[in-house]
Amino acid sequence: MSQTITAPAPVAAGNRTLRWTRRNAAVVLIYGITAALVIVASIMSPTFRDVANITDVLRQSIVLGLVTIGQLFVILAGGTDMSVGMAARVVGLGVAVALTSTMLPPILVIVLGLLAGALIGLLNGLLVARFGAQPFIVTLGTMGVLYGLALAISDGPTGMVPRSVVAIYEMKIGPLPASVIVMAMLWLATWWVLRSSRFGRATYAVGGSPSVSRLAGLNVNRVLILTYTISGVCAAAAGIFLLARSGVGNPNMALGLEFQSIVAAAIGGVSLYGGRGSLVGALGAVLLISVISNLFDLFQISAYFQDLTLGVIVVLAVAIYRADKNK
């Protein structure tokens, strides 16, 4: 049992050391690039190396970080969640409206928002696990439905967020934003779950081979459903955090998060076929993407070139990463 979990793919003993090195080479590479970028940018731009800006980069990485953590569980278990961006948007807009038009205490509204995210994830998980639907395509479908729901809630800026919710974004503990500290603890907790908990190891096993996991007595469906539910909650949290940042429900919020989170996993060395990859690499990728988008703004690169540049980086990253694997 424990053998099938720790070695999901049939790998020759000598080969395993080699793979370990390679997998870490991807992680080393991503941190190397991030560090190089930070050093060069710090030399070139006094604004960038300002402490306030560095804190801001970290705080900006939270939205993508939250979604990527959820996406990581789903991808490691062999799936994909395309609905995260729209789930974040629906929850963000819904919470904005509920905060404005109901008398409910903000904390309750936020909890309900997270529950709504869990429900969305649960639905995705059921569709994949119980009905055998192909993850990418079926979550693309739920993404469409959620997009419609978001439009139904509002197609213009909506809701005024109370100070207590904006504080989620602005509150500081010492020099650091509280949100950054909480996020760091969340990364640590996820790292522990993936590395040491039964569920974490089961996630890797299911992604490595569902049929072997089933034979080994794992409840594959339960693991799958749980990964999508986690992803839904993470997306909801990202939506709420975005709302706290902007102070108003923005109908264009959370655009492209599904792609960015998948890309973060991919360039962080996580196999998009499931079963292999580490959280450390994905964290590095999230930081790299956050630094890049901060630099875009600092150097005032036109928004029209930002998409193109990011797209080209992604294509190169994905291509190089696989080339590394194929050797």
Partner 1 sequence: MNDKVITEPKGSTPARRAGGGRLLDWLSQYAAFSAVLLTLAVAAIVAPAFFSPGNIRTVLIQTAILGIVVLGQTVALIGRGLDMSVAAVMTFAAVFVIQSAGSGNWGLLLVQLVLLVAAVGLANGLLVTWRGVPPFVATFALLIVVDGARLAYTRGQSAGSAPQWLKEIGSGSLLGVPIPVLIWLVLLGVFLVALNKTTWGRWLYAVGSNRESARHIGVPVSTVVISTFLITAASAVVAGVLLSGYLGYVDNTLGSNYNLNSMAAAIIGGVAFTGGRGGVIGASMGALLLAILMNLLVVMGLDIFWQQIVQGAVLVIAVVIQGLRARRAEGS
DSSP assignment letter at 102 = S
Nearer Cβ to partner 1, position 147 or 191?
A: 147
As given in the structure block, the two tokens for residue 157 are 């800026």
Q: How far is the CB of 81 from partner 1 (least distance, A)?
A: 12
Burial of 28 (0-12, 13-18, 19+ CB in 10 A): middle
Q: How far is the CB of 309 from partner 1 (least distance, A)?
A: 7
Q: How far is the CB of 105 from partner 1 (least distance, A)?
A: 30
Q: Reduced to 3 states, what is the DSSP secondary structure of residue 158?
A: strand
Q: How far is the CB of 308 from partner 1 (least distance, A)?
A: 3
> With contact defined as beta carbons under 8 Å apart, do 69 and 186 qualify?
yes
Nearer Cβ to partner 1, position 196 or 211?
A: 211
Q: What are phi and psi of 218, to 5 degrees?
A: -80, 145
Residues that bind partner 1 (CB under 8 A): 9, 80, 127, 131-134, 136-138, 140-149, 151-152, 155, 209-211, 256, 259, 262-263, 266, 271-273, 302-312, 314-315, 318-319, 322-323, 325-326
Q: How far is the CB of 130 from partner 1 (least distance, A)?
A: 9
Nearer Cβ to partner 1, position 178 or 318?
A: 318
Nearer Cβ to partner 1, position 179 or 231?
A: 231
Kindly state the helix (H) or strand (E) to which residue 249 belongs, with its residue range. strand 248-249
> With contact defined as beta carbons under 8 Å apart, do 87 and 146 qualify?
yes
Nearer Cβ to partner 1, position 127 or 243?
A: 127
Nearer Cβ to partner 1, position 12 or 51?
A: 12
Q: How far is the CB of 260 from partner 1 (least distance, A)?
A: 10
Handedness of CA 31, 32, 37, 42 (dihedral sign): positive
Report which residue type is found at 193.
Answer: V
> With contact defined as beta carbons under 8 Å apart, do 321 and 269 qualify?
yes
C-alpha pair distances (Å), 224 with each of 144, 191, 304:
22, 18, 38
Residue 229's nearest CA partner among 52, 7, 69 is 69
Nearer Cβ to partner 1, position 113 or 207?
A: 207
Q: Reduced to 3 states, what is the DSSP secondary structure of residue 172?
A: strand
Nearer Cβ to partner 1, position 45 or 221?
A: 221
Q: How far is the CB of 324 from partner 1 (least distance, A)?
A: 10
Burial of 324 (0-12, 13-18, 19+ CB in 10 A): middle
Residue 253's nearest CA partner among 94, 36, 127, 140 is 94
Q: How far is the CB of 151 from partner 1 (least distance, A)?
A: 4
| Greatest alpha-carbon span in the chain | 63
